[in-house]
Amino acid sequence: MTAEVTEFLTAGLRPHECRSCGTCVLVKKNSRKHTSIQWTTNAAESCPVFAAHAAAGGTTALLDTCEKLADSTDNAVRDGQIGTVGDG
């Protein structure tokens, strides 16, 4: 992977702990509507929502996101803990 690709994929990622379960992910807010989330753990083991889905026989690859994590990141943006890339 080139340095430019690595920079594009990782620049702006910040650790964020879900306010619901405490799972830590890396988050980058690219725009008002677009948030990148990179899991640092196995979601099916660390996130109760993903774990429940897996326990019910579902595949977590088909889950778009955890709504509790999405709410947590949205709250962190509103609180100013996570800024949008390029906001300075």
Query: How high is the pLDDT of residue 87?
Result: 60
- Distant-in-sequence, close-in-space partners of 41: CB < 8 Å, separation ≥ 6: 23, 24
pTM: 0.81
Distance (Å) of CA 37 to CA 31, 69, 77: 13, 10, 13
Query: How high is the pLDDT of residue 60?
Result: 83
Enumerate the domain spans of the chain: 17-59
Q: Identify the DSSP state of 84.
A: B
pLDDT tens sequence across 30-83: 888 889 999 999 999 999 999 999 999 988 888 888 999 999 999 999 999 998
Query: How high is the pLDDT of residue 66?
Result: 93
